[in-house]
Amino acid sequence: MCGIAGIVNFKSREDSPPLLRRMLGIIRHRGPDAFGIYTDETAGLASTRLSIIDLNTGDQPIHNEDKSVWVVLNGEIFNYPELRASLEVRGHRFYTKSDTEVLVHLYEEAGPRMLEELNGQFGLAIWDVKKQSLLLARDRMGIRPLFYHLDKGRLLFASEIKALFVHPDIPRKMNLQALGDIFTCWAPLGSETPFEGVFQIPPGHYAVYSKEGMECKPYWNLDFQETDPWERPVSDWAEELSDLLLDATRIRLRADVPVGAYLSGGLDSTLITTMVKRNFNNELCTFSVGFSDDRFDEARFQQRAVDSLQTNHRSIHCTEDDIGAVFRDVIWHAETPLLRTGPAPLFMLSGLVRNEDFKVVLTGEGADELFAGYNIFKEDKVRRFWARMPDSTLRPRLLERLYPYVFSQGNGKAGAFLQGFFKKSLSHVDSPAYSHLLRWENTSRLKSFFRPELQQGMGGMDDFVERFTTALPQRSKEWGNISKAQYTEIAIFLTNYLLSSQGDRMAMGHSVEGRFPYLDHRVVEFAARVPARYRMNGLTEKFLLKQVATNLIPPELIKRPKQPYRAPISNCFLGPTAPDYADDLLSERAIKAKGYFDAKKVSRLLEKSRKQEGDLLSERENMAVVGILSTQLIDELFLRDFPPSPIKEPENVKICS
C-alpha cells in the first residue's frame, strides 16, 4: 500500500524532483516506510511506501529488465504469485519479491489488457520510455483513488488531490456542480471531484496519455446477468458463494506483516472474521468502535461476536466531543464536503489499529450493496407494489416492516408522516433512478442553504437525474428493478463515498490498509448473476449471504435487524464543548466571508440547533450542519490557506533514472 504521484510534460522540461518530493511529503501518511522517485526528460514518478509485501526489496518505482518500463503502485495485487509464476515461465526475470514487479512484465506482454488479469485493489501508473506514454489505471470497484489534472500538454497525477495542489500552477477552486451533487447524493457523479480541473480515473477504467493526448476507456463493467435458472437450488448458490468468499479472504491475507480485521457486530464482518479464524489464523486480532450514544452503539453485538470467535479484540469508545475534535483532520484526508460524521469514528479506529502495530485489516464493506442489504432496496420494492394501487391503505403498511420503531411512536403521527414521505413521486416507476429519487430529492433541499447565485450553478434535480441516467450502461435497460437499485447504490454511494471518504482516506490517514473480500471481482460478478429472489427474498435482505452464514456465526447476529453504520451529528459541533474551529467557521462573519451560504438561513438553523441541543433537529437539518461546516473547512484547508502547515519533505529518497 502506498501513495503515488507523478508528472508528464511533453511541452517543456520541468525540474520535477523538487516538486515530486513535495508531493510525497504532503501524502507521506499513505506510506511512511520508504520513498522513491524516477525521472527522465519527460516524466517523473514518485512513491511513498507502506511496506506490506516484500519488506526488503519492494521499494518503488520498479522497472523491467532494460529499464524501459517503470511503475508505481498504490494498493495490492492479490494474485501476484500466480501471475509471477506464469511470467517466469515466459522468460521474464524478477529482481524483487513484490507484487508490484509483476505489473511491468505483464505490461510488456499485454499492454492495457493486463488489467483484466489482475485481482486487486489499486491505482497504478506505468511509464513506457520507448513509447513515451503513461498508463493510469484504477481497480474495478474504485477501492483505491487516483486523481489527475491535465492542462496544455502537462499531466499531473496523485493518490490524493492535495498532492496535485502542491504544484503552484494548478488553480484551487470549488466545482459548483460537484458541490451540488454532494448536497444531493453525498458524492460527485462520474469522474468529477469537488475541485475544478481535478478529475478521478473512474473505477474499472484506464487512461493512456501521450503526445497525441489522453484517452480514458473502461476495461471492466458491472453487468447484472439476470439469469434465473429455477432448476438450481439456493443451496448450490450458497455453496458457490461460500467457496468464492473463502478464497477471496485467503488471498487477502497475503502479507509479510500481521493482518487484523474490523468487527462491527453485524453479519458481514462477522462472517469474514469467522472464515479467517476457522481456516487461516487462530490468533486473529479484531478491532471495533463503540459510541457513548446508545442510538449508534453496537457494542453488545460486537461482544457477542468476540465471545463466539475468541479473537484478540481491541475497541475504542467514541463520544460526540471526540468526533468534534478530529473532524478537521477528517476533512483534510477526505478532501470533500461531508453530510455525515460517520468517517470520524473510522478515522479514530484506524488510529487504534496503527497504535497496535497493525498495517492491514479486513473489512465487511460491500456486502450490503451486492446482496441488497439496505432498506433503500426494500423501500423500492414496497413502493413499486404500492404504486400498482396508489389508493390502497393496506399496501403502504408494509413500511411498518421496515421502520417498526417509527410506527410505534406516540399517537401515530410519525408513521403517518413517513407514509406521506414515501408516497411522493410514487408513480414515477419508469425512472431508472426510481429507487433513489426520494432520497435525492429530500437531500437536495439542503442546497437551499447556499446563496441563490451559487444554487444556479449547481443545477436542479432534473439536470442531476439526467446526468446520472445518461451515464448508465446500455444494458441496464434489461435489468430488473432490484439490480437497477443496486447498481445506483454501487456506482455512487459505495465507490465515491463509502470506499473513499469512509474507507481509503480514513484508514490511510493513519497508514492502515483496508482489504475487502466481498469486493473481490469474482464475488462481485457472482453476485450480479444471483437471481434477484436470492439477493432479497420477499423483504428479507441478504438472503443468500444469510444461507452461507447459517451454522457459522451466532443466529442472533444473522437475525438481528439491520443497523446502518451511523455516528452522532450536530451535537459534536455546537454547544459549550464545541471545538474552536467549529465556532469560528460557523460564525456569521465566517459564513459571509467565504460566501457559499446564506448567512441568515445558517444563523436560524444554528439557533434552532443550540436551543434544542441538536436532539430535535430533523435528519436533514443535522446533515445541513455537517455539510455547511465541512464545506467551510474545505475552503479553509484547500482554497484559502494551502497547505495549512509546512510540508515536511521526506529524507532518504531513492532516486532512479
pLDDT tens, 76-121? 999 999 999 999 999 999 999 999 999 999 999 999 999 999 999 9
What is the average pLDDT across 117-134?
A: 98
Q: What is the pLDDT of residues 17-57, one digit of tens each?
A: 999 999 999 999 999 999 999 999 999 999 999 999 998 89
Q: What is the pLDDT of residues 468-487, one digit of tens each?
A: 999 999 999 999 999 999 99
In 3D space, the residue among 498, 534, 489 whose CA is nearest the CA of residue 369 turns out to be 489
Q: How confident is the model at residue 615 (pLDDT cuts 50, 70, 90)?
A: low
Q: What is the C-alpha to C-alpha distance for residues 625 and 410, in angstroms, rounded to an integer? A: 28
What is the average pLDDT across 535-558?
A: 95
H/E segment holding residue 651: none
The C-alpha cell at 233 is 437450488
Q: Which residues contact 511 (CB under 8 A, 6 or more apart)?
A: 29, 30, 31, 32, 50, 354, 359
What is the average pLDDT across 271-280?
A: 96
Give SS3 for 147.
Answer: strand
φ/ψ bin of 310: left (φ > 0), alpha (ψ from -120 to 50), beta (otherwise): left
Share of the chain above pLDDT 70, in %: 97
pLDDT at 190: 94
Q: Which of 347-351, 411-415, 451-455, 644-648 has the lowest mean pLDDT?
A: 411-415
Q: What is the C-alpha to C-alpha distance for residues 353 and 510, in angstroms, rounded to an integer? A: 8
What is the average pLDDT across 299-325?
A: 92
What is the average pLDDT across 133-161?
A: 97
pLDDT at 449: 98
State which amino acid sits at residue 247.
Answer: D
The angle that helices 434-444 and 413-423 make with each other, rounded to 10 degrees, is 110
Share of the chain above pLDDT 90, in %: 85
Active site residues: 2
Q: Higher pLDDT residue, 357 or 405?
A: 357
Q: Say if strands 120-128 and 133-138 run parallel, antiparallel, or are unpaired.
A: antiparallel
Backbone angles phi, psi at 495, to 5 degrees: -70, -50
pLDDT at 353: 98
Q: Which residues contact 583 (CB under 8 A, 6 or more apart)?
A: none
Check: pTM over 0.75? Answer yes or no: yes
pLDDT at 574: 86
Q: Tell me how far the alpha carbon of residue 321 is from its chain's centroid.
A: 25
Contact 287, 260 (CB under 8 A): yes
Which 3-state string (H, E, C) describes 438-470?
A: HHHHHHHHHHHHECHHHHHHHCCHHHHHHHHHH
Q: What is the C-alpha to C-alpha distance for residues 6 and 10, in angstroms, rounded to an integer? A: 13
Report whether pLDDT(228) > 70: no
Q: In the chain, what are the domains?
A: 2-220 (3.60.20.10), 234-370+488-559 (3.40.50.620), 375-437+466-482 (no CATH), 438-465+569-649 (no CATH)
pLDDT at 229: 62
Q: Tell me how far the alpha carbon of residue 447 is from its chain's centroid.
A: 23
Q: How confident is the model at residue 435 (pLDDT cuts 50, 70, 90)?
A: very high
